[in-house]
Amino acid sequence: MSSSTPAASKGRLWFNSFLMALAASCGYLIVALMSQHQVLTIVIAMASITLVLTPIFYWTYSRRAARPGTAPRREV
């Protein structure tokens, strides 16, 4: 008897990808604040980081979910 785990929906993958990209851009925020960058530069850079990294994280998560024999991440 095999227990099939439900696949993550596309919306959930996009949301998780967005959150990871947002976390990465918050890392930039810390560095930019310590370096005293201008506010507009920080906002544009954070938006750009999030925009570029979201599809990369989505692609990574979707490839990981499609790999057979890989257990899904446990949710706590």
pLDDT in tens, 16-58: 999 999 999 999 999 999 999 999 999 999 999 999 999 999 9
Is residue 59 assigned to a domain? Answer: yes
Is residue 37 assigned to a domain? Answer: yes
Q: Residue 16 sits in which domain range? A: 10-64
Rounded Cα gap, residues 56 and 51, in angstroms = 9
pLDDT at 66 over 90: no
Number of domains in the chain: 1
Helices (DSSP H) in the chain: which residue ranges?
10-35, 39-66
Supply the pTM of this predicted model: 0.71
Is residue 76 assigned to a domain? Answer: no
* Contact criterion met (CB below 8 Å) for 72 and 16: no
